Amino acid sequence: MNLPVRPTTDRAKEGLFNILQNIVDFEESAVLDLFAGTGNISLEFYSRGCVNITAVEQNYQCVEFIKKASQTFNVSGLKVLNMNVFSFLKKSDKKYDVIFADPPYDLSELKSIPELIFEHDMLAADGIFILEHSPKISFLDHPKYYNHRKYGLVNFSFFRN
């Protein structure tokens, strides 16, 4: 299947989850995966014991791919929503312990994503928000920013309340 995605590289995903395993209780966490693509990150959270995952993806083919993979691997606790991420962010009233976003690197609204998450109070008090982005963007000046990791061309900026 030819999906319009740029999955997080294995090296970057491994680095990310090495960080998260020290700060996240996967089995107790509510996870939100924005711009879910193939569901790669959602399935990684599931494989580590997380059973409360919401994946938001606008592309119908990607959503069907995630649903099929979930059925194939008997994944329970993964809710897949076929909708625009920005519409979801404006409507959702749920809080999440971990929010991961991997938007297209050239998305014009990319820099607004952290603000939307904090404006809509979506992150639990001790939660963590991770935004994947290109090396051309920096969030050092964001008041909730606290860490950055780089794996080749993949950059993760971390935010907390």
Burial class (CB in 10 A: 0-12, 13-18, 19+), 12: buried
Instruction: Give, in order, the Cα–Cα distances in Å from 16 to each of 12, 69, 157.
Output: 6, 22, 11
Decide if 115 contacts 89 (C-beta within 8 A). no
What pLDDT is recorded for position 16? 95
The pLDDT tens digits of the residues spanning 89-130 come to 999 999 999 999 999 999 999 999 999 999 999 999 999 999
The residues facing 147 across adjacent strands are 158
Helix, strand, coil percentages (3-state) for the chain, rounded to 5, are 30, 30, 40
The residues facing 25 across adjacent strands are none
- How many angstroms separate the CA atoms of 40 and 32, rounded? 13
- How many angstroms separate the CA atoms of 55 and 100, rounded? 10
Stated pTM of the model: 0.94
The pLDDT tens digits of the residues spanning 43-88 come to 999 999 998 999 999 999 999 999 999 999 899 899 999 999 999 9
What pLDDT is recorded for position 5? 62
CATH topology of domain 27-156: Rossmann fold (3.40.50)
The pLDDT tens digits of the residues spanning 125-155 come to 999 999 999 999 999 999 999 999 999 889 9
